[in-house]
Structure 1
Amino acid sequence: MAAVMPVPAASRVLMSGNEAVARAVWEAGVKVAAAYPGTPATEMLEVVSTYPDVYAEWSVNEKVSLEVAIGAAYAGSRAFCCMKHVGLNVASDALMTLTLTGVVGGLVIAVADDVGLSSSQNEQDSRYWGRFAHLPVFEPADSQEAYAMTLAAYELSEKFQVPVILRLTTRICHVKALVTVGERTPHTGAGFAKNPARFVMVPGNAGKRIPLMFQRDGELRAVAESSALNFVEAGGDRRIGFIVSGPAYMHVKEAFPDAPVLKLGFSHPAPFGMCREFAAGVERVVVVEEVEPLLETELKAQGLAVIGKDVLPLQGELSPAVLKPAIARLLGESVPESASTAAPAPIFPRPPTMCVACPHLGVYYTLSQVRNLNISGDIGCYTLGAGHPWNALDTCVSMGASMGVALGMDKGRGEADKDKRVVAVIGDSTFLHMGMQGLVDMVYNRGNVTVLLLDNRAVGMTGGQNNPGNGRDIHGGEAPRVDFVALVKALGVKEERVHKVDPYQLPVLFKTIRDEVKVPEVSVIITDQPCVLTQDYRRQPAYAVTEDKCTGCGNCIDVGCPAIHVTRRGKETKASGREVDLAFVRIESSVCTGCGLCLQPCAPKAIEPWVPASPLRLVKEGAPA
C-alpha cells in the first residue's frame, strides 16, 4: 500500500470506518499494532502500517496478534489489535485472562462483525465478548464516530487499565463518510514494571484479581450512565421510542426521523438508568440491535417492558426496508409497499469463482476427476472449490479445521465410507494460522489422510497480504520465508510422503494425488505457484480457441477458468444412438494469462497461442503480444 499523504489537523477527509480507526490509532500515539487479515477488518492494519512511528505486523493468527499487543500494553505503550468476529474466537484464550491482569498502556481491540454474511462462515455477535470478558464495548455508527470512539477508547483504557472492544460491522468498516481529523499526540510508555501478583496468572494470583474485575464493572457502568457517547434525541412522535446502537442508529433515523431515540455508543456496561428514564417518556420501547437480543434481554431482566426480536429479525442488517414494515405491524398500521414494485430484470447468475489462471483451478479440477474421495476443506480462496464446476469440497468449518475434520473422518468412518480416501485441503496462510497443530495431531495419531497444502504465497482471499510463507513483511520488505517442505517433515511427515508439484501440470498432479491417496498413512502434497494477483506471478502469452478444431466436448469448461466462455450449445447423436450435449467455447484473450491449464484436457488440440487480428485489437483488449 502506498504511503498515506499528510493530512493537516482539523481537515475533513472522506474515510471508510477502517481508515478512520487507523487514523485515530496513529493520532492516539499507538506504538505497536498487530493483526491477521480478515474481511471486513483487513484494511485497518493495512492503513496503520502506512503511518510513521507505529510498529505494525501481520501476525500468524489473531491470538498471537493480541498477545503482541498485550505485551506492548504491559510495557506501558499504547497498542492496537484488530480482527474479524471469528478471529476473536481464536484470540479469546488470551482475552479471558487479559481481563484479569488489565493493561498499563491503552489497548483497543477492534472487532469487525460481518453482519449480513458478506464474507464469513457465520454471523456471530461480538458484543457477547464484552459481557463474557467483562470489558467495555464501544459501538460507532459511522466513520466519524469510529474515529472519535477510538480516541476515547484509549483514554478509558488507561484510566481503568482495561482493554476496550471497539465493535464495528461490515457497513461501518467499508462505507465512507467525512471525518474531521487531528494530529498525532506522542505517548511514551513507562516500561514494564515487574509485578508477578498481577501479570503471572497462576490460580493463587488470578483469584485475587477477580474481585477487582467485578469492582471495575460497577465503575464502568457509572461512567456509561454519564458518557457523552450515550445520548437522547427527542422526537415528536412518542408512540415508539428506539434504543439503538451501532449502524442501526442510522437506519432508525432514516426510517423514523420524528421518533425519540436513545443512542448508545458506550453500549456495555449498559446504562440502565438512562434506559429506564428514556422508557418512561414514550409509550413503547423498541430495542434495535444487530444481531442478537443482548441489550433487550438485559433490559427485560431489569424489569423494562421493551420490544425487540419479537418483531425484528435475528439475522442480517436492520435497514429501513426491514424496520418500516415491522414497526407498522407493531402499531397495527398497513404495511408500506416496497418503493419499487417493478419485477427485477432477469440476470444471468454469477456465483463467486476463482480468478483467471488461479493455481487452485488445477487442484480442484483434478480432485473432481479422482473418484471415491471425502474432501475436508478450509477457509480461503480454495473454499470456492465447493462450487461449480468442481463440486470438490465436502466440509468447511473454521480456520485450520480441515486437518482435524479429516482425521475424524478417517477414524470415524462407517461401513459406507470404508473404501473412501480422505483428503484435507488447506492454504499456506491458513496452515501457518492454525493448521500445523492439526497436522501434528494427524501424524501423532497415525491418520490415513492425504493433505493438499496449497501454497500461493499470499493471504489470497483478503487481498493478497504477505505472510511468513512468501518472504516479505507487511511493508513489502524482505523477511525470512518458511520452507513448507522442511516444515512438514519437521512435524513428522515421512520424507517419501512429501511431494512438491506444479499445479499447472495436470498429469503430474493427477498421478501424485491418485498415488498418495492409496498410501495408508499421512502424506502431504504441496502445490507451489503464486496467486495471480500478486507481484510473484509471471503472465504468459494468451491462448485462443480455433473454432474449426473445437468439437464442443466441453472438457476445458470443467477446469473452471472464468476466461473461458460458452458461445453456443448443441447436441450430437453418437453411433450408439445416444444424444450428447456439446458446448462450443471461446477464450477471453484480454484476460487470459497463458497458464495453459485448459490446453491439457482439450482432446482435439483446439486451444492454441492467440494471434491478434490487428495492432488495433491488441491495444483495445490489452492482451500480451
Structure 2
Amino acid sequence: MSAEAAISTPPVTAPNRLLMSGNEAVARAVWEAGVRVAAAYPGTPSTEILECVAAYPAMYTEWSVNEKVSLEVAFGAAMAGSRSFCAMKHVGMNVASDALMTMTLTGVAGGLVIAIADDVGLSSSQNEQDSRYWGRFAHVPLLEPADSQEAHDFTLAAFELSERFEVPVILRLTTRICHVKGLVSVGERHERAVAGFTKDVGRWVMVPSAAGRRLPLMFERERRLRAEAEISDLNVVEPGSDRRVGFVTSGPAYMHVRESFPDAPVFKLGLSFPLPFASLRRFAEQCEQLVVVEEVEPLIETELKAQGFNVTGKDILPLSGELSPQVLKPAIAQLLGEVLAEQAKTAPMPVFPRPPTMCVACPHLGVYYTLSQLRNVTISGDIGCYTLGFGQPWNALDACISMGASMGMALGLDKGRSDAEKDRKIVAVIGDSTFLHMGMQGLLDIVYNRGNVTVLLLDNRAVGMTGGQDNPGSGRDIHGQEAPRVDFANLVRALGVRDERVHVVNAYELPVLLKTLREETKIPEPSVIITSQPCVLIKDYHALKPYTVIEDKCTGCGNCIDVGCPAIHVTRRDRVTKASGREVDLAFVRIESAACTGCGLCLKPCAPDAIVHVDTLAMPIRVVRKTAELTPGA
C-alpha cells in the first residue's frame, strides 16, 4: 500500500463487517480502543498498520526515525496514562529492545501494545526471526491472532490485558496474518479518560537500586499472568474425533493444522506466553500423541518438554518457513506410519525468470552503473531498494547485513585490510531513511576514528523499499503535511566530515558522479557524496519526454543494458567475429517508451547515439514499437 493510498480516510461509522487485511484490522482496533498516540518505522510486513492508523481521526501518529524511538514515544504516552501503540517488523525489535527490556520493569500506566510482524518465509527480509522470544526474554504477555478477525479482537484484548496488569503486551503477527484479507466484525471508538503523568522516581527512573526493587514485582506479575493464561478465553480447546494425534499450535499455523486435520483435537493458543501448563496437561491426556506445530522456533515444544510432556515437534517439522498443509500432511503421515496417497502431480507452468530489479528511471540505477565502472573497490551496502545493486547487471555491492551497518562494516574493512589491499578503495552505500535510522552514528564513528571511507548517501526523499513513506528527509509528515526537512550536506558536516569532502550530485549526471567518485576514493579521509533525486514512485518525481531507439543506428554494443533500466529490452542477440578473430556478443535493444520517464541515464553510455526522444522520429511511436516487436528473435 502506498502512502497516498493509506491516507484516504477509512469509514469511521462503518458496516458491522468489513473486508480487511490483518494490518487493517489491527489499525481499526487501535482506533476503537481509544489510543491517543501511535508510532512506527515502516518495514514489511508491518508497514500498512500505521498507514491505516494515521487515516483515522482523534489520534496522534508519526513515522519515527527508527523502531527504538517509536517504542519510546509510545512508552512516554503510556507513562502519561494514555493508551498507545507502536508497530515494527521482526528485525525492528532488535533495534527497540534496549527500551523494551527496561520498560518491562517499570510497567505502564496506560495500555501499551507492541505489534511485531514476523516475516516467516523470508518474503522481504534479511533473516527469519521468531519474535515470541521477546515475550519470554522481557517477561511480557504475548498474543498470537490466527486471522484478520482475531487480529482485531486480540488487539482490543491486548489493551485490556496491558492495563489490568500494567505491562506492555506484544501482538505477534506474521506475513500470513498481515496481508491476507477476511471479513471482520468491527465496532466504534471508545474514548478513555487520561489520568496524566504521576511523578514516581522509584518507578520511572531506572537506576540500579530502583530496578532491583522492581524485579520481584516483575516476577510476581508473571506468576499472575500464568494464572490468567489458565482461564483466558484467548486459549481454546477444540475436541476432535481422531485422537491419534492432538495438536498444540498458535497463530496462522493453527489454520494450517485445522485445514490439514479437521477431525483432530487442537489446543489453540491465543495467549501463547505465559503457557497454561495445567490446561495443556489435561489436553495431552486426551491424545495418544501430542505434536506442537509452531512457526518457526521450537519454543512451546522446549517448554513443554521441560515440564515433562511427551511431545513431538521440530524432529519431524522444519525449523524455517510456513507449516502449510503440504508440509504437515506428509510429516504426520510418517509419524503414524502411514503411506500418504500420491496426489496427481502436474508439471509447473514454465515461467520466465524475473530477478528483482529497480524501477524504471530509479535514481539508484546510475549510482550502481557508475560503481560498476570502478576497479579495485569493495562496496559495503545497506538495507533498502539499493540493496538490489548486488545483482545483475551491476554486481556492485559486496556486503549487506542490517540497517545502518554499511558504515561500521566499511570502517572495519578499512581498518582490517591486509597489506596487499592497502590501495583498495572502500565505499559505503546507504539510503536517506536508513542513514537517519541508524547510519549517522556509523558515519560519526568513521570520522572520529579517521576511517578512509567514501560514503554514497542516496537521497531519494522516501522510504522507497516499503512503499514510499515519508521521513525527516522528505519534508512531509505521515499525513503528507509540510514538515522540516533535513539538510543532509549540513548534517554530515555537523558529524565532522570536512566541507571540501562533501558533495551533492545529480544522480542522473553520470560523468559528474563518476568523476566525483574517482576523486574522492583517492583522498585518504572520510568523504560523503550525496545523490539527490526523488524516488520515481513519489509525487516529487516529474517524468520527462520518453526516449526510443533508432534501430538503424543501434550497433548492439549493449552499453545501455548495463544501466539496468527495466524499460530497455533486448530484441536480438548476435555473435560476430572481428577482424582480429575475437568473437563479440551484440545485443540490439528497444525502449518501452510507454514505461520510459525520460531520465536520460541510457544516453550517456550509448556509443552510437542511437537513443533519441520519441517525437524526433518521423514515424509514430506505435509503429516504431510494432517494428521492434516483429524483429526476429524479439
- Cα deviations across residues 497-533 of structure 1 (Å, max 9, x unaligned)? 0000011011000010011001100000000000000
Structure 2: which 5+ runs fail to align? 1-5, 627-634
Alignment pair present for 1:185 and 2:195: no
* Inter-partner Cα distance in structure 1 for 2:10 and 2:263: 41
Aligned-pair CA distance for 1:342:
1.7
**What is the percentage of aligned positions where both structures have the same residue?**
74
Aligned-pair CA distance for 1:336:
3.9
> What aligned pairs does 1:505-544 form with structure 2 within 5 A after superposition?
505-544=509-548
* Inter-partner Cα distance in structure 2 for 1:497 and 1:7: 52
* Inter-partner Cα distance in structure 1 for 2:298 and 2:50: 30
Query: 1:70: which partner in 2?
Result: 75
- Cα deviations across residues 324-354 of structure 1 (Å, max 9, x unaligned)? 11111111111343x4512222221101100
* Inter-partner Cα distance in structure 1 for 2:447 and 2:578: 50
Alignment pair present for 1:301 and 2:301: no
> What aligned pairs does 1:221-260 form with structure 2 within 5 A after superposition?
221-260=226-265
What SS is found at the alignment partner of 1:392?
coil
From 245, 249, 272, the equivalent of 1:267 is: 272
Query: 2:134: which partner in 1?
Result: 129
What SS is found at the alignment partner of 2:595?
coil
Query: 2:394: which partner in 1?
Result: 390
Query: 1:427: which partner in 2?
Result: 431
Query: 1:501: which partner in 2?
Result: 505
Contact 1:325 1:336 in 2 (8 A): no
Query: 1:623: which partner in 2?
Result: none
Alignment pair present for 1:172 and 2:172: no
| Root mean square deviation of aligned Cα | 1.4
Contact 2:7 2:54 in 1 (8 A): no
Shift in CA distance, 333/204, structure 1 to aligned 2, threshold 3 Å: same
- What amino acid does structure 1 have at the position aligned with 2:140? L
Residue correspondences, number: 619
From 32, 35, 40, the equivalent of 2:40 is: 35
What SS is found at the alignment partner of 1:454?
strand
Alignment pair present for 1:216 and 2:216: no
- Cα deviations across residues 31-70 of structure 1 (Å, max 9, x unaligned)? 0000000000000000000000000000000000000000
* Inter-partner Cα distance in structure 1 for 2:517 and 2:279: 64
What SS is found at the alignment partner of 2:76?
helix
* Inter-partner Cα distance in structure 2 for 1:76 and 1:6: 28
Query: 1:604: which partner in 2?
Result: 608
Aligned-pair CA distance for 1:617:
7.6
What SS is found at the alignment partner of 2:295?
coil
Alignment pair present for 1:439 and 2:443: yes
What SS is found at the alignment partner of 2:576?
strand
Query: 1:563: which partner in 2?
Result: 567
Alignment pair present for 1:320 and 2:325: yes
- Cα deviations across residues 284-340 of structure 1 (Å, max 9, x unaligned)? 000000000000000000000100000000000000001011111111111343x45
Contact 1:563 1:589 in 2 (8 A): yes
- Cα deviations across residues 455-496 of structure 1 (Å, max 9, x unaligned)? 000000000000000110000000000000000000000000
Query: 1:592: which partner in 2?
Result: 596
* Inter-partner Cα distance in structure 2 for 1:601 and 1:514: 17
* Inter-partner Cα distance in structure 2 for 1:172 and 1:291: 15
Shift in CA distance, 511/166, structure 1 to aligned 2, threshold 3 Å: same
Alignment pair present for 1:148 and 2:153: yes
Aligned-pair CA distance for 1:133:
0.3
What SS is found at the alignment partner of 1:95?
helix
Query: 1:575: which partner in 2?
Result: 579
What SS is found at the alignment partner of 1:424?
strand
> What aligned pairs does 1:349-498 form with structure 2 within 5 A after superposition?
349-498=353-502
Normalized against structure 1, the TM-score is what?
A: 0.98
What SS is found at the alignment partner of 1:173?
helix
Structure 1: which 5+ runs fail to align? 621-625
* Inter-partner Cα distance in structure 2 for 1:254 and 1:494: 62
What SS is found at the alignment partner of 1:6?
coil
Contact 2:34 2:192 in 1 (8 A): yes
* Inter-partner Cα distance in structure 1 for 2:469 and 2:175: 19
What SS is found at the alignment partner of 1:100?
helix
Shift in CA distance, 618/215, structure 1 to aligned 2, threshold 3 Å: farther
From 66, 70, 83, the equivalent of 1:61 is: 66
* Inter-partner Cα distance in structure 1 for 2:346 and 2:268: 36
- What amino acid does structure 2 have at the position aligned with 1:271? P
What SS is found at the alignment partner of 2:62?
strand
* Inter-partner Cα distance in structure 1 for 2:614 and 2:312: 64
Alignment pair present for 1:550 and 2:554: yes
* Inter-partner Cα distance in structure 1 for 2:561 and 2:403: 30
- What amino acid does structure 2 have at the position aligned with 1:243? V
* Inter-partner Cα distance in structure 2 for 1:341 and 1:559: 41
Aligned-pair CA distance for 1:3:
2.9
Aligned-pair CA distance for 1:615:
8.8
- Cα deviations across residues 253-298 of structure 1 (Å, max 9, x unaligned)? 1111111000000000011111111110000000000000000000
What SS is found at the alignment partner of 2:587?
strand
- What amino acid does structure 1 have at the position aligned with 2:558? G
- What amino acid does structure 2 have at the position aligned with 1:248? A
* Inter-partner Cα distance in structure 1 for 2:376 and 2:230: 62
Query: 1:207: which partner in 2?
Result: 212
Shift in CA distance, 464/617, structure 1 to aligned 2, threshold 3 Å: farther
What SS is found at the alignment partner of 2:202?
helix
Contact 2:389 2:395 in 1 (8 A): yes
- What amino acid does structure 2 have at the position aligned with 1:210? L
Aligned-pair CA distance for 1:414:
1.5
Shift in CA distance, 282/80, structure 1 to aligned 2, threshold 3 Å: same
Contact 2:112 2:169 in 1 (8 A): yes
- What amino acid does structure 1 have at the position aligned with 2:132? R
What SS is found at the alignment partner of 1:419?
coil
What SS is found at the alignment partner of 1:453?
strand
What SS is found at the alignment partner of 1:159?
helix
* Inter-partner Cα distance in structure 2 for 1:601 and 1:44: 43
Q: Deviating runs (4+, > 6 A) in structure 1?
A: 615-620
Query: 1:16: which partner in 2?
Result: 21
